[in-house]
Amino acid sequence: MNNLEFFNRNEARDFINKNKPMAIIPTGSVEQHLNHLFIGMDINSATKIAEELANKFSKNTIFYRPLNVGIAEHHMAFPGTMTLRVNTFIGVLTDVVNSMIRGGITKILFINGHGGNTEPMRTAMQNINLEMKGVHSNIDTSEVRSHIDYMELLNKDSEIDIKYTSYWEMHDPNFIKEVIKDPNYPGHAGEYETSLGLYLFPDFIDKDLMKNKPLGTANHATKEKGKLIYEDLIEKYSKLLQEMFN
Ligand SMILES: [Zn+2]
């Protein structure tokens, strides 16, 4: 796997210049996950998915994890939960995107594992996407008559492509209907997430407390469902990566 942190500067320069890799960046959270799931579930699940994809597409990708903490103010009643302020989180990731583009990485895929990050980051990444295209793509704006013209021009002529995805949004709704019984999907530490946890991190899940079902939503979770979910995620993300490479 091409983890950016373990390249030296010459290797990083050569790899980026020659292979024009896409960056894969996991984001998540360090926050309470009821009694049965571990606190680092969100960042570690997103990281596993990102690492697997970076391994699978090792010639065309580079893996980098700038942060493990996310936006979790709504979980702060539980000690051990970490949160960044919205502006801090967005600020750090915006600067990371900016640094990558300045270094020649023009395609960036975020794989997010935490619900609290989703809305602020979607807005922020739409804006940084436009800003970077505007700053770095040398687009001739002399014929632009409206902001719509401008956005069309940016999206058409730029090599810069930044996508922010949350992994639970990648499935086909029919797949979820078949696999997950709980109507509260994706939920928090519920059937979906607990199944994935049982498959990826069996040692960090308390199966007895899972049965106590604090919110009554994890009792149908199984390792087998987790495997189906994980394999579907890798398949769906692989398709998205192929689209972004072309
Ligand atoms: Zn979670």
Share of residues in the chain with pLDDT > 70 (%): 98
| Band of residue 212 on the pLDDT scale cut at 50, 70, 90 | low
Q: What's the confidence (pLDDT) of residue 158?
A: 87
221 within some domain: no
184 within some domain: no
Distance between Cα 189 and ligand 1 center (Å): 6
Distance between Cα 122 and ligand 1 center (Å): 18
Q: What's the confidence (pLDDT) of residue 215?
A: 64
Q: What's the confidence (pLDDT) of residue 92?
A: 96
Q: What's the confidence (pLDDT) of residue 192?
A: 95
User: Is pLDDT above 70 for 166?
Assistant: yes
By residue range, what is the domain housing residue 106?
4-170+233-245
Domain tally, the chain: 1
Distance between Cα 246 and ligand 1 center (Å): 32
Per-residue model confidence as pLDDT tens digits over 74-106: 999 999 999 999 999 999 999 999 999 999 999
Per-residue model confidence as pLDDT tens digits over 103-129: 999 999 999 999 999 999 999 999 999
228 within some domain: no
Q: What's the confidence (pLDDT) of residue 124?
A: 92
Distance between Cα 51 and ligand 1 center (Å): 18
Distance between Cα 173 and ligand 1 center (Å): 20
Range of lowest pLDDT (15-19, 179-183, 229-233): 179-183
194 within some domain: no
207 within some domain: no
Distance between Cα 98 and ligand 1 center (Å): 28
187 within some domain: no
Distance between Cα 41 and ligand 1 center (Å): 6
202 within some domain: no
Q: Output the domain CATH number for residue 33.
A: 3.40.50.10310
205 within some domain: no
User: Is pLDDT above 70 for 214?
Assistant: no
Distance between Cα 130 and ligand 1 center (Å): 30
User: Is pLDDT above 90 for 140?
Assistant: no
Per-residue model confidence as pLDDT tens digits over 14-61: 999 999 999 999 999 999 999 899 999 999 999 999 999 999 999 999
Distance between Cα 143 and ligand 1 center (Å): 47
